[in-house]
Structure 1
């Protein structure tokens, strides 16, 4: 193990510093780890484009933030193609095993799927997403793109403070008991902030993929070769049902993104099974309420309308969003402005709703988020995730990564479109965002906020700060947030420490059970990145969430 550095993490999580936005023209990258940003920019400097940079960043993040991401998870991406002005979607989420059925749970005496068990493992789609993004849009060979990640995994990297906290939580929750999980600990413990660690197993895996040759060869090796056999056997030994044939059948897909127009910008999200439509529905409701024109920024009235819009959007998303092959309502119906106006009519201007029903439209994540824009104006907005911290924690011997637990997001209602079943993509939390100017189709910029069910909430709050209130990227990311915590009562609202007691009192008077979240628990509010592009000059302006360990930088 590399020698110890002379630094340590602060004893508490504080959020009282100031950052300026970053400006550049040759290219810019933003991520929650500086080494990932460096990797992305190095691809641009050697002549690669945004797709090459994004995959290089994804691979480095797999090394430096294993609690949040890795080859054992899934990935989604949006690619803005400067030459055509088109936005392409990429869905790299894996399907459930063919053996995962309600009958199986019944046979094992289970009424629901254990969230951290081997039964919750779905096909890991991240590697397919990396290969597919490079094959369709990249310009550099796979070996060059993976080189920074291989180097950091082999030679060692310093663990960031936020990453160390997430690592420690995962160690306590799952790594200590999960099959193979000890491989991701150091002496049985999570590494400390500033500690230099390596992951030689993951380094060898990435080197093997790089040496395979083309992206198609690497894909075959991971999903149809010896690695697939090891993955399947590891899951079966742990009590799961993932089979080699499930991995053999996997492929990334390129569905058309979904979008809506808000304040002059067309906002793109990946199509279901992702939950990006939740953010779009909430924006449509806010537009119908004329929230930005009738309320003051960060007032109780503004936050109240945002909270109610998101509650209504989540109610619809949890009812209708599923694998696109099993959804029983069209996305066009959910995003119809007339339907948004109908839903907005349920919102009371000064009182929280006492019930949040889903609508009936007419038929028609511990996670990492990162983005990059190159000098030609191509952009990638991308999310990689293993879902809960380290996913299942199950770590195949010699591979250096844990396997995700995405099946935990299936519904246990057999009549629900997102019902647990074989060969299905589950409702997915990870959602990259991207905006273009509606007037001329020029790139406004990629954006995202990672963090499970916080992600659409973060998108809405971030876009309101940028588009309604005119904040620069860094100021928009620095703005304090609220969160509707998953699994909490409908009227619960988590408020970030620093929001005033007066504001909290006003929200409570409206019926919102608002409570503060402090310190390291503020991971609940996510970690975001934004890069905006000036269409006239090509200059880029970026920001990176101070709730993470990363930065935005360019040249």
Structure 2
């Protein structure tokens, strides 16, 4: 139990249903859907789509999603891959011929076909209860009436607004400057898109006027996208992957997401007595940093479109973990791996919902970098993701850019299972940080007995791009110790990541936790 003399959040407890996400309007909307008789999938979709209006720099209908979920009365975890593909004419050789060594972030070359709308429609049809019209109605209403910009969203908006260009300026920066907290943001064009999707399904988005609007913006920016690329898009079910850490099974989405990396990190950390360490000490932070470097280097060599990589089992192997763990010096930092050509970033939203039948949904939804590619369609204001920057231009690499391929994705929903029972859907936003965030969250629970809210609140560190990013919650003595071990320690301007979780307790009560690093909350009824 936390010290009530100090600032903090208590866990949220409820008996019927619950949502945890990064914006309170989305959490309330999801709970409203549950109280109206919708199930967890209905609520997760309603909340997620609304997050694209509440946090447009993070996500939107021009983006992708991955989901893990269960069905009532069944502890089987299912996965859905809602990521889009590169246009058919995309070719890494063409970019190399222009002298490029990476896909340029804020260009049409980085835009893959948005997969989220098809995924929402498919998941609603196959696993929802209320129907798209009811599920999309709250986002339509808020998009038209407007939502007050929340404090963290305002901070992120200002940080990323410089990438907006052309039509995107009119839709997301109409006054010429980023909105302050409390300013009202409206997206009437997106409301119309959602209204048409609610009436006619995914085809309303991928064919006809809406697709033409997106194509016009992309082609004007030099993109090679065609109407056939949009019309051909389909998401698909996937087979989850998992690994065990101290009696808890971590279930992850398979590639082209990076969930296998979290399992590899935990397998490496299992080679050390983490539980005997100070949870906020230098020994633990150092070991996590070294495991991150080695696991991420392995990931970057292997993870790609599942149709183009066959080495996921190598990442999941305990033998691989032991070999890598043996390379860690507990007192000295490894040199960082070579910089990646594929882009990594932090901008994502995550939502989790559990309903009265204990159906659980873990859903993550993103346009990748802040405001994605910075390209938006003229009429409807659909902001296009830049997930194609997750491809590499290295010839022969399984993640090499090519037409029809899905890029490496940073976004990973998570779920915990214990004794065969699903105990906690959870997620940690933060781009490249996400596997390290999953590993730290589970270690906080399994090694140090933290409840979910305490595990989320705890200070974070992250070895990334040659730096050891250490939040202010660590002591100066710990930072000095890490410097002595060879780390380049910095205190990041932005808090690291943002997590949400719902524990399905053994007594039947739902316990929600939400990261104070974001604007959101857990709500239940």
Is 1:189 the counterpart of 2:177? The answer is yes
211, 217, 223: which one aligns with 1:234: 217
Matches within 5 A, 1:476-555: 476-485=455-464, 488-489=465-466, 492-518=467-493, 521-522=494-495, 525-535=496-506, 537-555=507-525
Is 1:421 the counterpart of 2:394? The answer is no
**Where does residue 3 of structure 2 map in the other structure?**
none
For structure 2, list consecutive stretches of 5 or more residues without a partner in the other structure: 1-5, 340-345
Q: Distance in 2 between matches of 1:357 and 1:114?
A: 19
Question: C-alpha deviations, 1:496-544, integer Å up to 9, x for none?
Answer: 11210000111111111112124xx22xx11110110113x21011111
Question: C-alpha deviations, 1:207-258, integer Å up to 9, x for none?
Answer: 121122xxxxx11111133322222222011111111111111111111011
Q: SS in structure 2 opposite 1:85?
A: strand
Q: Distance in 2 between matches of 1:183 and 1:54?
A: 26
Question: Structure 1 514/47 Cα, relative in aligned 2: closer, same or farther at 3 Å?
Answer: same
Is 1:289 the counterpart of 2:278? The answer is no
Question: Structure 1 357/179 Cα, relative in aligned 2: closer, same or farther at 3 Å?
Answer: closer
Contact 1:432 1:448 in 2 (8 A): yes
Alpha-carbon distance, 1:375 to partner: 1.1
174, 198, 211: which one aligns with 2:186: 198
Q: Distance in 1 between matches of 2:187 and 2:513?
A: 29
249, 271, 274: which one aligns with 1:266: 249
Q: SS in structure 1 opposite 2:213?
A: helix
**Where does residue 452 of structure 1 map in the other structure?**
431
256, 259, 262: which one aligns with 1:279: 262
Question: Please, what TM-score do these two structures have when normalized by structure 2?
Answer: 0.95
Q: Distance in 2 between matches of 1:374 and 1:429?
A: 27
Q: SS in structure 1 opposite 2:156?
A: helix
Contact 2:193 2:205 in 1 (8 A): no
Question: Please, what TM-score do these two structures have when normalized by structure 1?
Answer: 0.90
Question: C-alpha deviations, 1:35-66, integer Å up to 9, x for none?
Answer: 10011101110111110010001111011110
Contact 2:251 2:414 in 1 (8 A): yes
Is 1:133 the counterpart of 2:104? The answer is no
Contact 2:261 2:315 in 1 (8 A): no
344, 363, 385: which one aligns with 1:404: 385
300, 319, 325: which one aligns with 2:307: 325
Q: Distance in 1 between matches of 2:322 and 2:80?
A: 30
Q: SS in structure 2 opposite 1:453?
A: helix
Question: Structure 1 111/352 Cα, relative in aligned 2: closer, same or farther at 3 Å?
Answer: closer
Q: Distance in 2 between matches of 1:338 and 1:169?
A: 42
Contact 1:372 1:531 in 2 (8 A): yes
Q: Distance in 2 between matches of 1:542 and 1:21?
A: 6
Alpha-carbon distance, 1:118 to partner: 1.1
113, 119, 124: which one aligns with 2:103: 113
Contact 2:104 2:110 in 1 (8 A): yes
Question: Structure 1 182/435 Cα, relative in aligned 2: closer, same or farther at 3 Å?
Answer: same
37, 60, 81: which one aligns with 2:50: 60
Contact 2:12 2:512 in 1 (8 A): yes
**Where does residue 362 of structure 1 map in the other structure?**
none
Contact 2:425 2:501 in 1 (8 A): yes
For structure 1, list consecutive stretches of 5 or more residues without a partner in the other structure: 1-15, 213-217, 359-364
Choose 82-91 or 24-33, whichever is displaced more: 82-91
RMSD: 1.7
Is 1:367 the counterpart of 2:348? The answer is yes
**Where does residue 162 of structure 1 map in the other structure?**
152
Q: Distance in 2 between matches of 1:148 and 1:185?
A: 23
Alpha-carbon distance, 1:484 to partner: 2.2
**Where does residue 383 of structure 1 map in the other structure?**
364
Q: What is the number of residues matched between the two proteins?
A: 514
Alpha-carbon distance, 1:106 to partner: 5.0
